[in-house]
């Protein structure tokens, strides 16, 4: 098993892992259809373009077992989404039905994000762990911790001193690996699905 920077050809496998790992969160908004997967794939391609080496995969025999996406500066994502035309295309595709989202689903997603952004506006800016997941067939084999360790190491190499993430309080394995790697809970936030723990890791 090696942890390497993700390449464009890994994005399909990353999207599949995301859909398996976060099935409940996706189906809260919409069934996991091919159109929804296509939309998610576009988002991962954007993350890959914007965050480059901060997007890593755990690879064995050319198969992706897990991934991590870190953001040294989240503003890069909004700039990348705007300048690449991604945001415009995403809005148009959602409205035209290309992503299989009904207007009410689209509204629910935006409302959920707004609830979260209200919280984001009140916290100090920091680097963020945007997403981490391991294929369900390979949980509890230490892959998540390897990805997290490499992600933190990479952020350190960029001079990042403070990393933030959010986790559901009942996500025992996630909270456990975060605590093992120096994150501690500093507060809570809420969206339509419930509570988030806000966790921070700071270099001393
Ligand atoms: C969170 C996640 C990335 C962890 O990946 P992983 O490869 O399974 O993690 P690891 O094997 O490195 O470590 C998991 C740890 O949790 C422990 N664990 C797992 N389930 C547990 C449970 N129900 N109770 C207590 N500990 C548990 C494991 O024993 C292990 O700890 P240990 O090394 O001290 O024994 C993976 O579970 C996942 O993809 N989950 C779905 C996506 C997700 O929730 N992502 C995080 C969003 S915040």
Residue 34 is predicted with a pLDDT of 83
Task: Round to whole Å and give the CA distance between 34 and 196.
Answer: 28
In three-state secondary structure terms, 45 is: helix
CATH code of the domain covering residue 162: 3.40.630.30
For the cut 80, the answer to whether the pLDDT of residue 98 exceeds it is no
Does 32 or 159 have the greater pLDDT score? 159
DSSP per-residue string spanning 70-81:
EES-THHHHHHH
Domain that holds residue 59: 2-202
Model confidence band, residue 71 (pLDDT cutoffs 50, 70, 90): very high
Instruction: Convert the pLDDT of each residue in 144-203 to its tens digit.
Output: 999 999 999 999 999 999 999 999 999 999 999 999 999 999 999 888 888 999 999 998
Residue 79 is predicted with a pLDDT of 85
Q: Is 55 exposed, middle or buried (0-12, 13-18, 19+ CB in 10 A)?
A: buried
Closest ligand 1 atom to residue 134 Cα is 39
Number of domains into which the chain is organized: 1
Instruction: Convert the pLDDT of each residue in 100-137 to its tens digit.
Output: 666 666 666 666 665 555 556 556 668 999 999 999 99
Question: Dihedral, CA atoms, 116, 122, 126, 127, nearest 10 degrees?
Answer: 0
Half-sphere exposure of residue 56: CA atoms within 13 angstroms, side-chain side: 24
Task: Round to whole Å and give the CA distance between 136 and 98.
Answer: 29
Q: Is 67 exposed, middle or buried (0-12, 13-18, 19+ CB in 10 A)?
A: buried
Which among 80, 14, 86 is positioned nearest to 44, based on CA atoms?
Answer: 14
Task: Round to whole Å and give the CA distance between 194 and 113.
Answer: 13
Written as six digits, the tokens of 89 are: 């295309």
The pTM of the full predicted model, rounded to 2 decimals, is 0.89
Lowest-confidence segment of 18-22, 39-43, 131-135 by average pLDDT: 39-43
Task: Give the binding-site residues of ligand 1, using a 6 Å CB cut-off.
Answer: 21, 132-134, 139-145, 167, 171-174, 176-177
Residue 85 is predicted with a pLDDT of 83
Pocket perturbation via mutation, ligand 1, pick of 58, 144, 197 by most ligand atoms within 8 A of CB: 144
């Amino acid at each position: 098993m090696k942890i390497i920077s993700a390449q464009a050809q890994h994005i399909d496998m990353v999207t599949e892992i995301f859909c398996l790992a976060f099935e409940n969160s996706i189906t809260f908004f919409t069934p996991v259809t091919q159109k929804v997967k296509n939309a998610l794939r576009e988002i991962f391609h954007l993350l890959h373009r914007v965050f480059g080496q901060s997007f890593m995969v755990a690879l064995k025999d050319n198969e992706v077992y897990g991934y991590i996406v870190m953001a040294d500066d989240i503003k890069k994502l909004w700039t990348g989404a705007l300048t690449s035309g991604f945001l415009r295309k995403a809005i148009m595709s959602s409205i035209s039905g290309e992503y299989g989202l009904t207007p009410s689903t689209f509204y629910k997603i935006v409302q959920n994000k707004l609830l979260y952004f209200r919280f984001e506006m009140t916290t100090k800016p920091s680097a963020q762990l945007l997403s981490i997941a391991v294929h369900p067939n390979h949980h509890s084999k230490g892959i998540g911790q390897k990805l997290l360790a490499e992600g933190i190491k990479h952020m350190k190499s960029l001079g990042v001193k403070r990393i933030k993430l959010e986790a559901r309080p009942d996500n025992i394995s996630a909270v456990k690996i975060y605590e093992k790697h120096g994150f501690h809970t500093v507060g809570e936030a809420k969206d339509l699905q419930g509570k988030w723990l806000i966790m921070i890791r700071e270099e001393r």
